[in-house]
Amino acid sequence: MTARSFDAIIIGAGQAGPSLAGRLDTAGMSVALIERKFVGGTCINTGCMPTKTMVASAYAAHLARRAADYGVALSGPVGVDFKRIKARKDKVTNDARANLESWIAGMKGCTLYRGHARFESASTVRVGGHLLTAPKIFLNTGGRASVPELPGVKDIPYLTNSSMMDLDVLPSHLVVVGGSYISLEFAQMFRRFGSKVTVIEKAPRLTVREDEDVSAAILSILENEGITVHVGADDIGFARQGNDIAVSFGAGKPPAVGSHVLLALGRKPNTDDLGLDKAGIEIDKRGYIVVDDQLRTSVPGIWAMGDCNGRGAFTHTSYNDYEIVAANLLDNDPRKVSDRIDAYALYIDPPLGRCGMTEAAVRKAGRRAVVGQRPMTRVGRAIEKGETQGFMKILADADTGEILGCSVLGPGGDEAIHCVLDLMYAKAPISTLVRAMHIHPNVSELLPTIAQELKPLV
């Protein structure tokens, strides 16, 4: 079979792939874009867009139930039509996917191949009956839910973040195994839809990546909505119990018996079936493709972007990977992964926005720091909205004034965090924030006030 030649091959049409294809196409290059499932990757199909659409529906239901708190009278009890919620979610996803497909189709130099790509050499890829070759190959294959070998897990029907998107019946009792970001978003969402929800986490607290005060506040938010949380689960196992599923989590403790089980126990890269060995591409012990600071793999002419490289696990890090690759290849702009600042959000309600270092990371680094904090009960905008759970916290270097990190857990926290994040990218000291005038009334207007009240971190 004669291979068809391209200037570039991109394997995976997630957040980085199509964007890079667009830049290469504009630069006059011929591009083969390969996707085995749906264009848009996790974000559009089973991640950000569908889940945040459902989070919005859950928020509407929650707010409606609180109508009386705002002096609003409803004529009857608040109900949830889960099939309509799913239909709304599906429309958002399908529209986004269709728009992306239309954009790809409009690229004159880009050919979209549907199928499973596998390397045959460092410059040759097979997709079904097609053999493709190019001097430049970009991997954007993403990741999927990890399912550990827990006792009984193979004997039960379980859900992951992907299969949850196909669920069209509201669980009577959802047991969520895992206490991190994906799991907690689903836990609160389905509790607000009307399900009974139990969360089981192996670690001694939820969201162990966060500081202990943040974890404690998140626990309080969930428990206030009637979610049962078990942490320190040292012996998780599964068994059928009639039509239900029993989830054990510790000796001497009665199992949580639910109608549905969601496993949210981390992610793994989609790298095990690409034939990477035939191309000589190095992977680490977890299966992530090893890349340098400009996302080059161990093989010249091959790059890896997004969740498959282990350098970030978010849509925004994947898209930033594309920007780094494109800047280096096309713009003579030497951008690097190490230039970016750790930043992400947890989309429970109220949301958590995070950037930079935690208190624990600052202490581990041995830096002399100052910290400021304010509860949402002392933020006028939060009081006016009747949403006073959470707090804000800022960390800075005590000697240089460098802003080290920030947490905003409260209304609009996922947006307000960018006030601090952008200052960190500008390398502005904390004194810049102190002198800033923010708009009133707003949650973020208290950030300069917090910056004026910093105390030594002990």
In terms of DSSP bridges, do strands 228-230 and 237-241 run parallel, antiparallel, or are they unpaired?
Answer: unpaired
Write down the pLDDT at residue 391.
98
Q: Are 264 and 273 in contact (CB under 8 A)?
A: no
Distance CA 259, CA 422 (A): 45
Q: Where are the alpha helices (DSSP H) in 106-204?
A: 181-193
Distance CA 458, CA 449 (A): 21
Write down the pLDDT at residue 225.
98
Query: pLDDT confidence of 443, banded at 50, 70, 90?
Result: very high
Handedness of CA 239, 241, 243, 249 (dihedral sign): negative
Statement: residue 166 has pLDDT above 90:
yes
Task: Determine the average pLDDT of the residues in 307-320.
Answer: 96
Write down the pLDDT at residue 2.
86
Statement: residue 168 has pLDDT above 80:
yes
Structure tokens at 369: 């720091």
**What percent of the chain is predicted at pLDDT more than 70?**
100
3-class secondary structure, 153: helix
> Annotated catalytic, 440?
yes
Given phi > 0 = left and psi -120 to 50 = alpha, else beta, which region is 12? left
Structure tokens at 361: 């990371």
Q: Which of 138, 142, 141 is nearest to 31 (CA)?
A: 138
The residue whose two tokens read 């304010």 is 374
Write down the pLDDT at residue 416.
98
Task: Determine the average pLDDT of the residues in 148-159.
Answer: 97
3-class secondary structure, 29: coil
Statement: residue 320 has pLDDT above 90:
yes
Tell me which amino acid residue 21 is: A
3-class secondary structure, 163: helix
Arithmetic mean of pLDDT over the chain: 97
Q: Are 242 and 157 in contact (CB under 8 A)?
A: no
Q: Which one is catalytic: 62, 173, 316, 440? A: 440
DSSP 185-212: HHHHHHHHHT-EEEEE-SSSSSSTTS-H
Any residues with CB less than 8 A from the CB of 251 and at least 6 apart, and which? 235
Write down the pLDDT at residue 70.
97
Write down the pLDDT at residue 404.
98
Q: Indicate the pTM of the whole model.
A: 0.95
Question: pLDDT per residue over 414-430, tens digit each?
Answer: 999 999 999 999 999 99
Question: pLDDT per residue over 343-384, tens digit each?
Answer: 999 999 999 999 999 999 999 999 999 999 999 999 999 999
Query: pLDDT confidence of 1, banded at 50, 70, 90?
Result: confident
Helices vs. strands in the chain: H and E counts, helices first:
13, 24
Q: Where are the alpha helices (DSSP H) in 46-180?
A: 48-65, 82-105
The residue whose two tokens read 């009081």 is 383
Question: pLDDT per residue over 328-344, tens digit each?
Answer: 999 999 999 999 999 99
Q: Are 310 and 294 in contact (CB under 8 A)?
A: no
Distance CA 189, CA 348 (A): 8
Which parts of 190-308 are beta strand (E)? 196-200, 228-230, 237-241, 244-248, 256-258, 260-263, 267-269, 302-304
Statement: residue 174 has pLDDT above 80:
yes
Statement: residue 251 has pLDDT above 90:
no
Statement: residue 454 has pLDDT above 80:
yes
